[in-house]
Amino acid sequence: MANVIVIGAQWGDEGKGKITDLLSRSADVVVRSQGGVNAGHTIVVQGQIFKLHLIPSGILYSDTECIIGSGTVIDPQVVLEEIDQLEALGVSTKNLMIAQTAHVTMPYHRIIDRASEERRGDRKIGTTGRGIGPTYADKSERTGIRVIDLMDESDLRQKLEWTINYKNVILEKLYNLSPLEPEAVIQEYLGYAKRLRSYVVDSSLKIYEAIEKRKNILFEGAQGTLLDLDHGTYPYVTSSSPIAGGACVGAGIGPTAIDRVIGVAKAYTTRVGEGPFPSELDDEIGQLLCDIGAEFGTTTGRRRRCGWFDAVIGRYAVRINGLDCLAITKLDVLDSVDEIKVCVAYELDGTTCDHLPSNASQFARCKPIYKTMPGWKQPTTHCRSLDDLPKQALDYLKFLAELMKVPIAIVSLGASRDQTIIVEDPIHGPKRALLDANGTPLLGDKLPVTSE
């Protein structure tokens, strides 16, 4: 039995969907612990593309229970759209469960999100405009609507009539926008409640019962470490806690229930939205990474900013999350690059800085200090073991392991399930490293991943 957290070790979009999908084959339960429809996972199975925003990736396994936990914020319309799309593709959602205590994104959240971002002008954050921040803000202000409120018409009506009238003052007076009609919103969400009722559960209790039964539980994170509200590159962050500790809070379990934490990082670095990005490439190499890596957001379709691997933020992610091991994704995107650079430290105001500055203005002044390595100039998408990798590619992975001081357990070489090298299965496999502390490969038994 193992309870494993999968988190993003960069600014999100690291390929967590594929890694979660791979590990879900060994999981009895998959839990989504935070975030909302601002997250997106793209999974490719036998050429079929699945794009999920709220429903956990484990839904593609018919015998896996999938729980949307209390720390998430639910957009009922999106959840129902995903349910309908999955069912239309022959994927059952009978094992899907939604936390009764999760907060609900309302129409006024989306409107205020977009209006607020527009009002910021040059100081915009880069929000998706899906209402996530305002939903979490209402949660903290204790004026939010929870899933359980949707299940009781009188309770929902009482809360929404007051809240919408309050929000209308903000819409009209602050943003000069048209007010919402309370009754129309109430009826819309009662309609959602009717369809969602069979999925609603006490999620914390369900997870605790699974732990008692010694089931394998996979906790699926959204966004990435550097977008954490407390520990990310504030203010250019999300509104929840995508780090490992946040998974415990969002799921409603204690930290002693967790056995492993795996961080997912690309073989290079990307970022969506605003904020400093020391290793960003504003040249033909950056464009090449974007084109080959198809670096466009699952949720927004926005182009991702691309740059070399940043080991400074990588080491920070290891520390903040207590990572046991790493999954490196999109190694194949570097196949055609002549020379590959790795940011090993920053130059800040004339001095070397090997840690992430907490001060936003200092971080904006950081310049990358690079280590240059030779590229391998040959395709790797066919590789299924470490032995298949070009020497330069293996050297690159060894160097990343040395810099991060944590073993690499999974290497992804494409979007499909079978384009993966797994030596250590974080759920069933022993605690051994693909690469040891000195960067020496420990081949051991390889556990190939096959398409299903």
How large is the average pLDDT for residues 249-259? Answer: 95
- Predicted local confidence at residue 273, as pLDDT: 81
45 or 304, greater pLDDT? 304
411 — pLDDT class (breaks 50, 70, 90): very high
Q: Which of 155-169, 172-186, 412-426 has the lowest mean pLDDT?
A: 412-426
The amino acid occupying position 228 is D
Tokens encoding 114: 């977009």
- Predicted local confidence at residue 123, as pLDDT: 73
How large is the average pLDDT for residues 343-349? Answer: 97
277 or 124, greater pLDDT? 277
Candidates 66, 126, 95; CA nearest to 272 is: 126
Mean pLDDT of the chain: 89
- Predicted local confidence at residue 447, as pLDDT: 32
pLDDT value at 448 more than 60: no
Q: Which of 13, 21, 113, 138 is catalytic?
A: 13
pLDDT value at 189 more than 50: yes
- Predicted local confidence at residue 134, as pLDDT: 94
| Kind plus residue range of the DSSP H or E element containing 244 | helix 244-251
74 close to 68: Cβ distance less than 8 angstroms: yes
pLDDT value at 444 more than 60: no
Over residues 255-272, the pLDDT tens digits come to: 999 999 999 999 999 998
Q: Helices (DSSP H) in 252-310: which residue ranges?
A: 284-292
- Predicted local confidence at residue 301, as pLDDT: 73
401 close to 439: Cβ distance less than 8 angstroms: yes
Q: In residues, how long is the chain?
A: 452
DSSP structure string for 130-153: SSHHHHHHHHHHT---BHHHHT-H
CA-to-CA dists, residue 336 to 71, 288, 375, 380, 429, angstroms = 41, 9, 7, 10, 33
CA dist 147 and 105 (Å) reads 10
Tokens encoding 150: 């949707």
CA dist 393 and 285 (Å) reads 18
Q: Which of 21, 28, 41, 138 is catalytic?
A: 41
183 in the Ramachandran plot: left (φ > 0), alpha (ψ -120 to 50) or beta?
alpha
300 — pLDDT class (breaks 50, 70, 90): low
Q: Is 41 a catalytic residue?
A: yes
CA dist 114 and 74 (Å) reads 18
Tokens encoding 385: 């073991």
CA dist 10 and 12 (Å) reads 6
Phi, psi of 90 (to 5 degrees): 85, 15
pLDDT value at 127 more than 80: no
CA dist 48 and 439 (Å) reads 36
As a whole-number percent, the residues of the chain with pLDDT over 70 amount to: 91
Q: Helices (DSSP H) in 45-152: which residue ranges?
A: 76-88, 107-120, 132-141, 147-150
298 — pLDDT class (breaks 50, 70, 90): low
113 or 427, greater pLDDT? 113
34 close to 247: Cβ distance less than 8 angstroms: yes
Cα Dmax for the chain: 66
pLDDT value at 431 more than 70: no
pLDDT value at 442 more than 50: no
3-state secondary structure of 254: coil
Over residues 43-70, the pLDDT tens digits come to: 776 667 778 889 998 888 889 999 999 9
pLDDT value at 329 more than 60: yes
